[in-house]
Amino acid sequence: MIQSVVDLCEVEPGIVQVTMHDRVHKNTFSQELILGLIKTFETIKANLSYRVVILTGYDSYFASGGTKEGLLAMHNSKVKFDDVNVYSLALDCEIPVIAAMQGHGIGGGFIMGLFADFVILGRENVYTTNFMKYGFTPGMGATYILSKKLGFSLAEELLLNAGNYRGAELEKRGIPFPVLPRQEVMAYALELARQVAEKPRISLITLKNHLVTPIREQLPDVIKQEVKMHEMTFHQAEVKERINRLFGK
């Protein structure tokens, strides 16, 4: 199966790779990318031979968060980020997902990767939760999953500061993920996938479900709170100005 900007390929028996490559939009959450990801994970769910997923991007981009049009639509109250759930596709996937972030992870794109069961970062890449740079509070479950995966202190810093952090800097800060040279990320992910795929599928599904059930149960309330914060912060005139200015660069 090949989507226009999302490829699905069984690279080895039981190991399926999902590659995001919306080169026009640099893997921001365009409609093409969102629909491609949703359809791809539906295909994965229907295939009973798959045991592990590798989710990755192209060149120096993993995923880059909201488009200018999408953010302005939220500013104008035309849509909400929870209208379509792309952020927790990896969490909701029955089988384990490896986020091979061989490229930059920006905003919601970084958060989407953190919902995976395994996370691999590149030393040279930028990772940021830059919601507040645009003047609105974080969404997509960022206020929960970032703290869950990185610890409260670092998560609070990333969310409030909204700065850019290279993988090498996050490695020095002690994040609990492998951080490798960009060109080594995919090879590491494939070897990890081989180790996972050796296990029985039903055992992988059963254990993952047990491990992530608390996250799946708590996330809906977090999303509701983030939507409420958006109602207070997203519609400021300054937010629109920031969106236009930052995308104009």
First-last CA distance in the chain: 36
Write the burial class of residue 191 (CB in 10 Å: 0-12 exposed, 13-18 middle, 19+ buried). Answer: exposed
Q: Which of 104, 210, 230, 235 is catalytic?
A: 230
230 is catalytic: yes
HEC assignment per residue over the chain: CECCCEEEEEEECCEEEEEECCCCCCCCCCHHHHHHHHHHHHHHHHCCCCCEEEEECECCEEECCCCHHHHHHHHCCCCCHHHCCCCCHHHHCCCCEEEEECCEEECHHHHHHHCCCEEEEECCCEEECHHHHHCCCCCCCHHHHHHHHHCHHHHHHHHHHCCCEEHHHHHHCCCCCCEECHHHHHHHHHHHHHHHHCCCHHHHHHHHHHHHHHHHHHHHHHHHHHHHHHHHHCCCHHHHHHHHHHHCC
Nearest to 192 by CA among 100, 91, 122, 113: 100
Which residues are tagged catalytic?
230
